[in-house]
Structure 1
Amino acid sequence: MALKGEATTNLQIPVDKDVTAGGRTFDAGTVLNTGLDVPKGSLFPLGMVTHIDNAKPRVGISCALCHATVSDKTGRVLEGAINTDINLGALLALASNSAALFRQTDVNPTKITTGQHTYINAEGENAYLPDAKILEDEVDAAMLSWIPGNFVSNGDLKNNSAQVPTSYTHGAWPYAWSGVASIGWFHGLTTLNNAVFGVNADPATTADAAEALAGIDKDTYLGAMLQNASNPKYRLPDAVKPSEFFDKIDPTPGEPGFNEVIRMPEYPKASLFMQNGLMAASPGYQVAEQINAMSAYQNTLAPPPHEAADLETLKRGAAVFNKANCAQCHSGRYFTNHRVIAQKEVKTQPARGPASSGFATKLFVPPDTYPPNVPVPLPPDPPVLPVPTDITPQEDIELAYAQSDPTGGYKVQNLIGLYLSAPYLHDGGVAAGAAAFKQNADGNYEISDRSQLGVTGTLMQGILPNPEASLRALLDRDLREPMLAANRNNSDLQRSNVSGEGHAYWVDRAAGFTTGDQTDLIKFLLSIDDDPAVLPKSSR
């Protein structure tokens, strides 16, 4: 109501009482930068869904919380753009049972000192769960290390945060930062969409695989999740077996997890098609109807046109794009060759590269699916079809899952809508504020304000990275190094594996380019929308 109908890209909420989470105290009156967007004229943040259930208000979230934003010029919604400052780490850490998402952090509950909560373990013996407060504090601390705009989507007990990706998906396969979603409907996009609902949003969906993936037995896994549940209905009593308790309170009886899912033919094994062997599907629909519909919708999304510069500047920038060999990877109409590049070659932040290897090594079998005309719930003995894998090179599949190289790889990202997606690289580590650089008397760029370098000088200060300055830091080694130093000096960024390193494909003086060349290239990159005014010869 305080916005009086105006829009904001960062709903600021004052803390009403002293709160301590993850070892940090937020004093009463502290203004929390949530990064929540509110469209012009709206009473609710973008991506928050409300309804009345049994005379009680219910609030949930939709994809738009992260995968849409509000234009700071018009106040209108930009579907598919990143909410680059959504403060997911803080929002989750301030919840009462963040510990339920321990798998998204580097906190292993079996390494936490036990408390007083008893349970019956997998061997049928009385045992003690990890201390609930210590576990909560540790998970909160890990989440508070995430930078705005980042999230950990891999449940591999590594705090390998990555930037929320855009949803400008048409022609941008394979999907996910490492290219792990690469087969099946919509060339892997349906697999990516399923991962959100069938894996990431519900940690209970990997309870059956917890022993194989993390060395945590199912009962300890569920017990750690449920011992401090916010809703008393789901809170684990003392001296019970967590898996049996979960079966009693499961809102989707007969299927793993809380969310509405169906078991794929290989479950409890998994496959390249459905990473944990489960598909998100609601009763009353057909197999994959919902997630395929999401794929079709996402493939219609495009950024609004962006006039970055005059036509002659863009033509010069496109020529620099070719001269610098950018098109060797960023080729074609959507500026990607659809390949996965080894981490040891691109040398970007390494933590996420092998994040999905455990699924492939311990769970994967050849992928099967049910035909898309099969109803949900599944009938007895539904037909089964094999899912072809030959639409993606086998070497890329193996690299994406770190099977051929233990460091894994990263997919070649498309370049659509760069003006909306700063900071850059998969970890969101390449960032600079608008005042970070200035031209000196020689016409070259130099640092003018060190306080606006890196993530520490932008998102962590409530300042949005400037796209032009951030791209300059990406392309110029003399500007990147001090930016990297700013990131390296921050312990939160070290814990959440954000650095801004790698992708050392320079367009600077040392590479034989002028400052004018660099600026023209940046203007060209920022102009790339769904219908670019200029295309390089290599992309026509």
Structure 2
Amino acid sequence: MLAVTAFFLLFIPSFRIAYMPSFDKVANKDEIYRNGRIEQVYDTWGESVSEEEASSKSPAELSPKQGTVKIDQDLLDLGREVFYKETFGNEVFLTDIMGILDGPLSIWNIAKASLALKGKGTNNLQVELAQTITINDETFEKGEKIDTGLAVPKGGMMPIGMPLTVEKGRMKAGITCAACHARVDERNGKIVEGATNTNLNVGLLMALASNSAAYFTHTEKENIEKYVNSSSREIKTSDNKTAKLPDINTLEQEVDKTLISWPRGFFDATVDLTSNPTQVGDSFTFGDHPYSWSGMGMAGPFNGLTTLSNNVHAQGADALAQSEISKEMFEIDKEMYIGTILQNAANERFRYQPSSSKKPSSFFKDVDPNPETPGVNELVKLPTFPRVTLAAPDGLIVSSPGYKVNEQNNAVSAYQNTLVPPKPERSVSDAVMKQGREVFQRAGCSSCHAGRFKTNNQIIPSKEIGTSPTRAKALASTEKIWDTASIYAPDTPVPIPNQSLRLQIPSNSFTKNDVELGFAHNGSDGGYKVKGLAGVYWQAPYLHDGGVAVGPDENKDIGIPGTLNKGINPDPYLSMKAMVDESLRQKVIDANQSSTQLKKLDIKGGGHSFWVDKRRGFTRAEQHALVEYVLQLDGEKD
């Protein structure tokens, strides 16, 4: 079906197809909003307003001019549609510039692999390579099947979260929230909305692209000048001086080496010229603020959830969006930055030729589908642009023309807040649950993992938590161009009219210290937010660097090398056991440290040294009960 559709699409000037499952294909359909909770009908900068509370407020208090977002069925339906279908135009960067379909990975072979399932679901679509390629001394042969981690539900004909677009006969693939934040439960072939897609092999898929060098800002490439050689081509910089671009092939090989080292299910969504990927997070978000590992998503609608969702699209899916701040953030001239990304673009239309008379920025403006903003995605400049703020660490908000500003981000935030994880298929008695709850309290877990959502909503300094600060410091450079958070009112149409209402985001829900920890400002090493525990069964591996992984055999399936790097999924029970058992955790750390690649990526699995084991006076039965109790948590009843 997908192959036939793709064939005929090539003869249509413009067409787009994206998969959104019916509710009978969703494993947690009984828990999601249509049959479950709508606990808030308005949101004002994170203040949740219930239907009963709304009845006592005036229309002026609930106005968009106060920053209020109304949550109704239309918004929730839009949120689910955004979750599955909305790319904000990132297929241009991924396909036209990065060339994710111009290397050994072809849309035809993805279609072939989907058809070969014959209606059976998979959480790891295995796709034949269309050509032979060598990356970092590892050769992938033509016809060899690779683990993509793309998920296809039972009865589905295409991967979820990967819309296809045809434009002037050229096939393009984009990516949506669902590719990372939903997975197929292979026991029944149904989709678990909100669960981490542990299998998604992002690093390998990007390494196979023809111009993966376009993603150099997410890899360990602080000094691109060292990739200049005799083959490098000259350009004019912003101050009209002559400079040489890095050599295409040399930079491509080095970026590929880094990308291919990322474990499955890991992604680097921050632009800091450091490769610090971490496990993709879940979307069981209600009550789990502040958001992201560092807690940087603390301000704005839905307690910062909208800010986090926006940041992934504005930073993680379009490196060109940082072109206006590349000098301040990375000490890379704007022309050098754009020229490096575009000099080997897959689509000739976007491929910059240094031999032309134009500077890279002038060339890009002529081909940019959204020339009023930096980057190729559908972006809106905030009033403070190019300076960055709590509302947007890159000064931009993804919003499609025809919608209200931030409407799609707000919609997907509201939708995610309705998601409830399905109960694990584990047989746990009431007695074990009761004992686990008692151990949770006695061991002191509840001092941080408190209340219904098992979080006190605090950011803990990285030194105190004991985890490497690498990821906590990823946004430290934003301090150079920091400004007061200002945003357009949520009823502002896109494109933004002149003289539109601008609102200051209040800071009564967080402190100056929170900002310093969340963004590693003022000399801070940054911090990590206290993670809520709803749906942790669906999130293994664990910890802030995603390094605590144990497979089905705890004697040999140890750490990332013994699990994800061997195609073995971490076992939730044993991985959670390693979170509280010092002896097992040390084995995990030792296994991770034995890998040169993981050392470079700073994935260790250390820190969070809160033990519930024999040395601390807990029996094996008590440890078992604690783990089972935690794995059953869903953010509903305790």
Give the TM-score, by structure 2 length.
0.79
Letter in 1 for 2:498: P
Give 1:225's aligned residue: 341
Q: Does 1:160 align with 2:272?
A: no
The structural deviation recorded for 1:519 is: 0.3
Q: Compute the TM-score of the two structures, normalised by the length of structure 1.
A: 0.94
Superposition pairs of residues 172-187 of structure 1, within 5 angstroms = 172-187=288-303
Matched, 1:284 2:389: no
Note closer, same or farther for the CA distance 1:69–1:273 as it changes in structure 2 (3 Å cut). same
Conservation of the 8 A alpha-carbon contact between 2:129 and 2:146: yes
Superposition deviation, residue 154 in structure 1: 1.1
Partner of 2:226: 111
> Match of 2:151?
37
Q: What is the aligned partner in structure 1 of residue 34 from structure 2? A: none
Which secondary structure state, in structure 2, belongs to the residue aligned with residue 130 of structure 1? coil
Structure 2 stretches lacking a partner, 5+ long: 1-114
Deviation at 1:466, TM superposition (A): 0.5
Q: Deviations over 1:79-137 (max 9, x none)?
A: 11000121100000100111111111111323322333232222213332100001011
Does residue 144 (structure 1) correspond to residue 265 (structure 2)? The answer is no
Which residue identity is paired with 1:335? K
Moved more, 25-34 or 478-487: 25-34
Matches within 5 A, 1:392-403: 392-403=510-521
Q: How many residues are paired up?
A: 519
Q: Which amino acid aligns with 1:420?
A: W
Which residue, 71, 89, 92 being the options, matches 2:203? 89
| Contact kept in structure 1, 2:452 and 2:636, CA below 8 Å | no
Q: Matched residues in 1 for 2:236 and 2:246: separation?
A: 13
User: What is the CA–CA distance in structure 2 between the aligned matches of 1:116 and 1:288, rounded to whole Å?
Assistant: 41
Q: Following TM superposition, by how much is the alpha carbon of 1:286 offset from its aligned partner in structure 2, in angstroms?
A: 1.3
Distance 1:51 1:13 in 2: 20
Identify the residue that residue 250 of structure 1 maps to in structure 2.
368
Specify the code of the residue in structure 2 equivalent to 1:162. T
User: 1:349 matched to which residue of 2?
Assistant: 468
1:17 counterpart letter in structure 2: Q
Distance of 1:370 and 1:432 partners within structure 2: 46
Q: Structure 1 residue 29: deviation in Å?
A: 4.2
Task: For residue 528 of structure 1, report the CA deviation from its aligned partner.
Answer: 0.7
**1:3 aligned residue:** 117
The residue number in structure 2 matching 1:62 is 176
CA contact (8 A) 1:306 1:529 kept: no
Instruction: Give, in whole Å, the separation in 2 of the partners of 1:279 and 1:346.
Output: 32
- Higher mean C-alpha deviation, range 395-404 or range 129-138: 395-404
Distance 1:277 1:82, change over 3 A: same
Structure 1 range deviating more: 74-83 or 114-123: 114-123
What is the Cα deviation at residue 274 of structure 1? 1.3
The answer as to 2:609 corresponding to 1:494 is no
Distance 2:275 2:152 in 1: 29
Shift of 1:471: 1.0
Mapping of residues 330-369 of structure 1, within 5 Å: 330-359=449-478, 361-369=479-487
Aligned to 1:441: none
- Could you tell me how far 1:48 is from its partner in structure 2? 1.4
Among 213, 217, 231, the residue aligned to 2:329: 213
Corresponding position of 1:440:
none
> Is contact 1:22-1:139 (8 Å) kept?
no
Inter-partner Cα distance in structure 1 for 2:425 and 2:353: 60
Q: Which residue of 1 aligns with 2:352?
A: 236
Q: Deviations over 1:37-81 (max 9, x none)?
A: 110011111211124444554432211111100011110111110
Q: Does residue 418 of structure 2 align to residue 300 of structure 1?
A: yes
- Determine the structure 2 residue equivalent to 1:261: 379
- Give the AA of the match of 1:455: I
Of 569, 575, 590, which residue of structure 2 is paired with 1:485?
590
Shift of 1:405: 5.0
Q: How far apart in 1 are the matches of 2:157 and 2:373?
A: 36
Match of 1:462 among 546, 557, 567: 567
Residue 223 of structure 1 aligns to a residue in which SS? helix
Gaps of 5+ in 1: 437-448, 536-540
Corresponding residue for residue 524 of structure 2: 406
RMSD across aligned positions (CA): 1.4
SS of equivalent residue, structure 1 residue 25: strand
**Given residue 251 of structure 1, which amino acid in structure 2 is its aligned partner?**
P
Aligned with 1:20 (options 134, 145, 154): 134
Q: Which residue of 2 aligns with 1:198?
A: 314
Q: Deviations over 1:264-312 (max 9, x none)?
A: 1111111111111111111111121111111111111111123531111
SS in 1 for 2:615: helix
1:433–1:470 contact (8 Å) kept in structure 2? yes
**Structure 2: distance between partners of 1:214 and 1:19:** 31
1:12 Cα deviation from its structure 2 partner: 1.4
Per mean C-alpha deviation after superposition, the further-off stretch among 313-322 and 36-45 is 36-45
